[in-house]
Amino acid sequence: MSKIFVDACFGKETPYTPVWMMRQAGRYLPEYMEVREKAGDFLSLCHTPEMAAEVTLQPVDIVGVDAAILFSDILVIPNEMGMDLRFEKGEGPIFDKPIKSIEDVEALLGGEEAAGKLTYVYDTIKIVREKLANDKALIGFTGAPWTLATYMIEGRGTKTYNLVKKLIYTQPELMHALLAKVTEVVKYYLEKQIQAGVDVVQIFDSWATALEKDKYFEFSWNYMKEIASYIKAKYPHIPIIMFPKGIPGFLDEIDGDFDVFGVDWSTPIELAKEKLGSRYVLQGNMEPCRLYSKEATKEAVEHIASVMGGKRHIFNLGHGILPDVPVENAKYFIKLCKNVGKDF
Protein backbone atom coordinates (compact mmCIF):
# COMPACT_ATOMS: atom_id res chain seq x y z
CA MET A 1 0.00 0.00 0.00
CA SER A 2 1.38 3.33 -0.97
CA LYS A 3 1.98 5.74 1.87
CA ILE A 4 1.11 9.40 1.27
CA PHE A 5 3.96 10.48 3.48
CA VAL A 6 6.59 8.48 1.59
CA ASP A 7 5.22 9.66 -1.75
CA ALA A 8 5.39 13.25 -0.55
CA CYS A 9 9.03 12.78 0.53
CA PHE A 10 9.86 11.75 -3.03
CA GLY A 11 8.04 14.79 -4.43
CA LYS A 12 5.17 12.78 -5.93
CA GLU A 13 1.70 14.26 -6.10
CA THR A 14 -0.42 13.34 -3.08
CA PRO A 15 -4.15 13.85 -2.30
CA TYR A 16 -3.19 16.38 0.38
CA THR A 17 0.00 17.69 1.97
CA PRO A 18 0.91 15.33 4.81
CA VAL A 19 1.86 16.54 8.26
CA TRP A 20 3.66 15.46 11.42
CA MET A 21 5.23 17.37 14.32
CA MET A 22 8.71 17.20 15.76
CA ARG A 23 8.42 15.93 19.37
CA GLN A 24 4.83 14.87 18.65
CA ALA A 25 5.29 12.03 21.15
CA GLY A 26 5.93 14.35 24.04
CA ARG A 27 4.98 16.00 27.27
CA TYR A 28 2.07 18.05 25.90
CA LEU A 29 0.13 14.75 25.67
CA PRO A 30 -1.40 13.55 28.98
CA GLU A 31 -1.34 10.00 27.57
CA TYR A 32 2.42 10.29 27.10
CA MET A 33 2.89 11.55 30.65
CA GLU A 34 1.01 8.51 31.96
CA VAL A 35 3.30 6.05 30.19
CA ARG A 36 6.35 8.00 31.17
CA GLU A 37 5.38 7.89 34.80
CA LYS A 38 4.89 4.16 34.57
CA ALA A 39 8.36 3.86 33.01
CA GLY A 40 9.91 5.77 35.91
CA ASP A 41 12.23 7.99 33.94
CA PHE A 42 12.95 9.13 30.43
CA LEU A 43 15.78 6.73 29.66
CA SER A 44 13.83 3.73 30.96
CA LEU A 45 11.04 4.71 28.59
CA CYS A 46 13.54 4.66 25.68
CA HIS A 47 14.82 1.27 26.87
CA THR A 48 11.41 -0.44 27.11
CA PRO A 49 10.17 -1.32 23.60
CA GLU A 50 6.52 -1.92 24.58
CA MET A 51 6.24 1.49 26.20
CA ALA A 52 8.35 3.33 23.62
CA ALA A 53 6.12 1.82 20.93
CA GLU A 54 3.01 2.93 22.77
CA VAL A 55 4.09 6.59 22.93
CA THR A 56 5.33 6.43 19.33
CA LEU A 57 1.82 5.46 18.23
CA GLN A 58 -0.13 7.90 20.45
CA PRO A 59 0.05 11.03 18.25
CA VAL A 60 -1.15 9.10 15.19
CA ASP A 61 -4.37 8.21 17.01
CA ILE A 62 -4.75 11.28 19.19
CA VAL A 63 -3.74 14.21 16.98
CA GLY A 64 -4.01 12.55 13.57
CA VAL A 65 -0.53 12.95 12.08
CA ASP A 66 0.40 11.11 8.85
CA ALA A 67 3.59 9.62 10.20
CA ALA A 68 4.77 8.21 13.51
CA ILE A 69 8.31 8.96 14.56
CA LEU A 70 10.21 6.43 16.61
CA PHE A 71 10.27 7.46 20.26
CA SER A 72 13.84 7.50 21.46
CA ASP A 73 16.61 9.94 22.30
CA ILE A 74 19.51 10.96 20.10
CA LEU A 75 21.94 10.27 22.96
CA VAL A 76 21.36 6.51 23.05
CA ILE A 77 24.20 6.32 20.53
CA PRO A 78 26.99 7.81 22.69
CA ASN A 79 25.46 5.93 25.62
CA GLU A 80 25.93 2.57 23.82
CA MET A 81 29.36 3.66 22.61
CA GLY A 82 30.25 3.51 26.29
CA MET A 83 29.45 6.88 27.85
CA ASP A 84 27.37 6.90 31.03
CA LEU A 85 24.28 9.02 30.48
CA ARG A 86 21.88 10.48 33.02
CA PHE A 87 19.08 13.00 32.87
CA GLU A 88 18.90 15.69 35.53
CA LYS A 89 15.61 17.43 36.15
CA GLY A 90 15.65 20.99 34.83
CA GLU A 91 19.01 20.48 33.18
CA GLY A 92 18.59 17.65 30.70
CA PRO A 93 21.14 15.03 29.64
CA ILE A 94 24.53 14.78 31.33
CA PHE A 95 27.64 12.76 30.51
CA ASP A 96 29.75 12.94 33.65
CA LYS A 97 32.88 11.88 31.79
CA PRO A 98 32.97 13.88 28.57
CA ILE A 99 35.50 13.19 25.81
CA LYS A 100 38.80 15.03 26.33
CA SER A 101 41.45 13.17 24.36
CA ILE A 102 42.15 10.82 21.48
CA GLU A 103 42.46 8.01 24.05
CA ASP A 104 38.87 8.76 25.12
CA VAL A 105 37.77 8.51 21.48
CA GLU A 106 39.67 5.25 20.98
CA ALA A 107 38.11 3.76 24.10
CA LEU A 108 34.62 4.19 22.66
CA LEU A 109 32.83 1.23 21.16
CA GLY A 110 32.44 1.79 17.41
CA GLY A 111 30.72 0.69 14.22
CA GLU A 112 28.39 -2.28 14.08
CA GLU A 113 29.33 -3.36 17.60
CA ALA A 114 27.92 -0.15 19.15
CA ALA A 115 24.95 -0.07 16.77
CA GLY A 116 24.25 -3.70 17.63
CA LYS A 117 23.66 -2.79 21.27
CA LEU A 118 20.65 -0.61 20.42
CA THR A 119 18.34 -3.63 20.26
CA TYR A 120 15.64 -1.86 22.27
CA VAL A 121 15.33 0.66 19.43
CA TYR A 122 14.97 -2.01 16.75
CA ASP A 123 12.50 -3.91 18.93
CA THR A 124 10.44 -0.74 19.36
CA ILE A 125 10.36 -0.29 15.58
CA LYS A 126 9.15 -3.87 15.04
CA ILE A 127 6.30 -3.43 17.51
CA VAL A 128 5.28 -0.08 16.03
CA ARG A 129 5.40 -1.33 12.46
CA GLU A 130 3.10 -4.21 13.42
CA LYS A 131 0.54 -1.97 15.06
CA LEU A 132 0.71 1.06 12.75
CA ALA A 133 -1.82 1.29 9.90
CA ASN A 134 -0.32 0.38 6.55
CA ASP A 135 -0.98 3.77 5.04
CA LYS A 136 0.95 5.58 7.78
CA ALA A 137 4.70 5.98 7.66
CA LEU A 138 7.15 5.27 10.46
CA ILE A 139 10.09 7.67 10.64
CA GLY A 140 13.36 6.47 12.13
CA PHE A 141 15.95 9.00 13.19
CA THR A 142 19.38 9.79 14.49
CA GLY A 143 21.20 12.81 15.78
CA ALA A 144 23.77 14.21 13.38
CA PRO A 145 27.38 13.34 14.26
CA TRP A 146 28.11 17.01 15.04
CA THR A 147 25.23 17.30 17.51
CA LEU A 148 26.12 13.98 19.16
CA ALA A 149 29.83 14.80 19.35
CA THR A 150 29.04 18.21 20.84
CA TYR A 151 27.15 16.55 23.70
CA MET A 152 29.97 14.03 24.10
CA ILE A 153 32.51 16.86 24.48
CA GLU A 154 30.49 19.41 26.43
CA GLY A 155 29.02 16.73 28.67
CA ARG A 156 25.76 18.67 28.95
CA GLY A 157 23.74 21.47 27.37
CA THR A 158 25.77 24.62 26.81
CA LYS A 159 25.09 28.23 25.94
CA THR A 160 28.49 29.05 24.48
CA TYR A 161 29.73 25.66 23.16
CA ASN A 162 33.14 26.84 24.27
CA LEU A 163 34.64 23.39 24.90
CA VAL A 164 33.70 21.94 21.54
CA LYS A 165 34.60 25.15 19.74
CA LYS A 166 37.96 25.36 21.42
CA LEU A 167 38.51 21.84 20.13
CA ILE A 168 37.59 22.56 16.52
CA TYR A 169 39.83 25.63 16.35
CA THR A 170 42.80 24.14 18.22
CA GLN A 171 42.61 20.32 17.75
CA PRO A 172 40.49 19.78 14.65
CA GLU A 173 42.02 16.31 14.11
CA LEU A 174 40.66 15.11 17.46
CA MET A 175 37.20 16.35 16.56
CA HIS A 176 37.37 14.67 13.16
CA ALA A 177 38.43 11.40 14.76
CA LEU A 178 35.39 11.53 17.04
CA LEU A 179 33.05 12.55 14.22
CA ALA A 180 34.32 9.76 11.97
CA LYS A 181 33.72 7.20 14.72
CA VAL A 182 30.22 8.47 15.46
CA THR A 183 29.44 8.59 11.73
CA GLU A 184 30.25 4.88 11.35
CA VAL A 185 27.89 4.01 14.22
CA VAL A 186 25.14 6.20 12.77
CA LYS A 187 25.34 4.45 9.38
CA TYR A 188 24.84 1.03 10.98
CA TYR A 189 22.20 2.44 13.31
CA LEU A 190 20.06 3.81 10.48
CA GLU A 191 20.59 0.65 8.47
CA LYS A 192 19.36 -1.50 11.33
CA GLN A 193 16.38 0.82 11.82
CA ILE A 194 15.52 0.34 8.14
CA GLN A 195 15.90 -3.43 8.45
CA ALA A 196 13.61 -3.35 11.48
CA GLY A 197 10.90 -1.55 9.52
CA VAL A 198 11.12 2.25 9.34
CA ASP A 199 9.88 3.80 6.10
CA VAL A 200 11.80 7.08 6.25
CA VAL A 201 14.82 8.36 8.19
CA GLN A 202 15.53 11.85 9.52
CA ILE A 203 18.90 13.19 10.64
CA PHE A 204 18.48 15.86 13.35
CA ASP A 205 21.27 18.41 13.59
CA SER A 206 19.87 20.40 16.49
CA TRP A 207 23.13 22.21 17.11
CA ALA A 208 23.86 23.14 13.50
CA THR A 209 23.26 26.71 14.61
CA ALA A 210 26.39 26.66 16.80
CA LEU A 211 28.85 26.84 13.91
CA GLU A 212 29.98 29.50 11.46
CA LYS A 213 29.57 28.61 7.81
CA ASP A 214 32.90 27.02 6.80
CA LYS A 215 33.12 25.07 10.03
CA TYR A 216 29.54 23.90 9.65
CA PHE A 217 30.29 22.26 6.35
CA GLU A 218 33.60 20.85 7.56
CA PHE A 219 32.42 19.48 10.92
CA SER A 220 28.78 18.70 10.34
CA TRP A 221 27.24 18.76 6.89
CA ASN A 222 30.00 16.66 5.27
CA TYR A 223 29.36 13.86 7.77
CA MET A 224 25.58 14.11 7.30
CA LYS A 225 26.09 13.88 3.55
CA GLU A 226 28.34 10.86 3.94
CA ILE A 227 25.62 9.09 5.92
CA ALA A 228 22.95 10.07 3.40
CA SER A 229 24.99 8.76 0.46
CA TYR A 230 25.65 5.49 2.26
CA ILE A 231 21.98 4.93 3.05
CA LYS A 232 20.76 6.14 -0.34
CA ALA A 233 23.07 3.74 -2.20
CA LYS A 234 21.84 0.70 -0.27
CA TYR A 235 18.19 1.67 0.35
CA PRO A 236 17.09 3.97 -2.48
CA HIS A 237 13.40 3.39 -1.61
CA ILE A 238 13.85 4.97 1.85
CA PRO A 239 13.48 8.76 1.83
CA ILE A 240 16.04 10.72 3.82
CA ILE A 241 15.15 13.96 5.63
CA MET A 242 17.93 16.32 6.72
CA PHE A 243 17.15 18.80 9.51
CA PRO A 244 20.00 21.19 10.26
CA LYS A 245 18.48 23.64 12.72
CA GLY A 246 19.15 27.32 12.24
CA ILE A 247 21.38 27.81 9.20
CA PRO A 248 19.38 30.29 7.08
CA GLY A 249 22.60 31.99 5.99
CA PHE A 250 24.15 28.85 4.49
CA LEU A 251 21.43 27.51 2.18
CA ASP A 252 23.35 28.31 -1.02
CA GLU A 253 25.92 25.60 -0.27
CA ILE A 254 23.51 22.83 0.75
CA ASP A 255 23.85 19.76 -1.43
CA GLY A 256 23.91 15.98 -1.15
CA ASP A 257 22.03 12.81 -1.84
CA PHE A 258 18.87 13.16 0.24
CA ASP A 259 15.20 13.84 -0.42
CA VAL A 260 13.70 16.27 2.07
CA PHE A 261 15.16 19.39 3.66
CA GLY A 262 13.63 20.19 7.06
CA VAL A 263 13.18 23.96 7.35
CA ASP A 264 13.44 25.37 10.86
CA TRP A 265 11.31 28.37 11.90
CA SER A 266 14.20 30.85 11.77
CA THR A 267 14.47 30.24 8.02
CA PRO A 268 11.68 32.01 6.12
CA ILE A 269 9.87 29.43 3.98
CA GLU A 270 10.18 31.75 0.95
CA LEU A 271 13.96 31.74 1.34
CA ALA A 272 14.10 27.94 1.66
CA LYS A 273 11.91 27.56 -1.42
CA GLU A 274 14.04 29.94 -3.45
CA LYS A 275 17.33 28.28 -2.51
CA LEU A 276 16.36 24.61 -2.21
CA GLY A 277 12.77 24.07 -3.38
CA SER A 278 13.64 22.85 -6.86
CA ARG A 279 16.20 20.32 -5.60
CA TYR A 280 14.56 19.04 -2.41
CA VAL A 281 11.09 18.56 -0.98
CA LEU A 282 10.71 21.00 1.93
CA GLN A 283 9.40 20.09 5.37
CA GLY A 284 8.18 22.60 7.91
CA ASN A 285 8.24 25.23 9.18
CA MET A 286 5.65 26.74 11.53
CA GLU A 287 7.17 28.42 14.61
CA PRO A 288 6.06 25.97 17.35
CA CYS A 289 5.07 28.77 19.73
CA ARG A 290 2.28 29.69 17.33
CA LEU A 291 0.53 26.62 18.76
CA TYR A 292 -0.26 28.74 21.81
CA SER A 293 -2.90 30.47 19.66
CA LYS A 294 -5.31 29.04 17.07
CA GLU A 295 -5.38 32.36 15.26
CA ALA A 296 -1.60 32.50 15.00
CA THR A 297 -1.59 28.86 13.88
CA LYS A 298 -4.11 29.52 11.13
CA GLU A 299 -2.20 32.54 9.89
CA ALA A 300 1.04 30.56 9.56
CA VAL A 301 -0.48 27.45 7.99
CA GLU A 302 -2.21 29.57 5.37
CA HIS A 303 0.97 31.51 4.69
CA ILE A 304 3.12 28.40 4.31
CA ALA A 305 0.46 26.75 2.14
CA SER A 306 0.30 29.80 -0.10
CA VAL A 307 4.07 29.87 -0.56
CA MET A 308 4.39 26.12 -1.23
CA GLY A 309 1.17 25.77 -3.23
CA GLY A 310 0.63 22.17 -2.12
CA LYS A 311 3.68 20.95 -4.03
CA ARG A 312 6.90 19.29 -2.89
CA HIS A 313 6.01 20.03 0.71
CA ILE A 314 5.39 18.28 4.04
CA PHE A 315 3.82 20.28 6.86
CA ASN A 316 5.62 20.30 10.19
CA LEU A 317 6.71 22.66 12.91
CA GLY A 318 10.03 24.46 12.58
CA HIS A 319 11.23 22.82 15.83
CA GLY A 320 9.76 20.57 18.53
CA ILE A 321 6.35 21.19 20.11
CA LEU A 322 6.63 22.63 23.64
CA PRO A 323 5.24 20.80 26.70
CA ASP A 324 2.76 23.55 27.65
CA VAL A 325 0.89 23.65 24.32
CA PRO A 326 -2.81 22.69 24.61
CA VAL A 327 -3.50 19.34 22.90
CA GLU A 328 -6.57 20.93 21.33
CA ASN A 329 -4.36 23.41 19.48
CA ALA A 330 -2.06 20.66 18.24
CA LYS A 331 -5.10 18.81 16.85
CA TYR A 332 -6.31 22.01 15.25
CA PHE A 333 -2.92 22.48 13.54
CA ILE A 334 -2.98 18.96 12.07
CA LYS A 335 -6.55 19.30 10.85
CA LEU A 336 -5.80 22.68 9.33
CA CYS A 337 -2.75 21.40 7.43
CA LYS A 338 -4.75 18.56 5.90
CA ASN A 339 -7.65 20.82 4.97
CA VAL A 340 -6.01 24.07 4.13
CA GLY A 341 -8.23 26.22 1.92
CA LYS A 342 -11.32 24.10 2.73
CA ASP A 343 -14.08 24.70 5.26
CA PHE A 344 -14.01 22.06 7.97
Q: Give 96 or 253: the residue with its C-beta nearer to a copy of itself.
A: 253
Q: Give 56 or 267: the residue with its C-beta nearer to a copy of itself.
A: 267
151 is catalytic: yes
Marked catalytic residue, from 122, 151, 161, 223 = 151
Task: Please tell me the distance from the alpha carbon of residue 47 to that of residue 194, in angstroms, as a whole number.
Answer: 19
Q: Give 119 or 209: the residue with its C-beta nearer to a copy of itself.
A: 209
CA 264-268-271 angle, 5° bins:
110
27 is catalytic: yes
Q: How many residues does the chain have?
A: 344
Least distance to a copy of itself, CB of residue 250, Å: 7
**8 A C-beta contact, residue 231 and residue 237:** no
Task: Please tell me the distance from the alpha carbon of residue 11 to that of residue 312, in angstroms, as a whole number.
Answer: 5
Marked catalytic residue, from 28, 32, 36, 205 = 36
Q: Give 135 or 274: the residue with its C-beta nearer to a copy of itself.
A: 274
Q: Give 195 or 293: the residue with its C-beta nearer to a copy of itself.
A: 293
Least distance to a copy of itself, CB of residue 268, Å: 5
**8 A C-beta contact, residue 45 and residue 39:** yes
**8 A C-beta contact, residue 89 and residue 75:** no
Least distance to a copy of itself, CB of residue 338, Å: 22
Which residues would be at the binding site for a copy of itself (CB under 8 A)? 157, 159-162, 165-166, 169-170, 209, 212-213, 215, 246, 248-250, 265-268, 271, 287, 289-290, 292-293, 296, 318, 322, 324
Marked catalytic residue, from 73, 104, 123, 257 = 73
Task: Please tell me the distance from the alpha carbon of residue 25 to that of residue 253, in angstroms, as a whole number.
Answer: 33
DSSP notation for 226-270 = HHHHHHHHH-TTS-EEEEETT-GGGGGG---S-SEEEEPTTS-HH
SS3 state of residue 100: coil
Closest CA relative to residue 21, chosen from 316, 327, 331 = 316
Least distance to a copy of itself, CB of residue 326, Å: 11
Least distance to a copy of itself, CB of residue 265, Å: 5
SS3 state of residue 343: coil
**8 A C-beta contact, residue 86 and residue 73:** no
- For the annotated catalytic residues, the residue numbers are 23, 27, 36, 73, 151
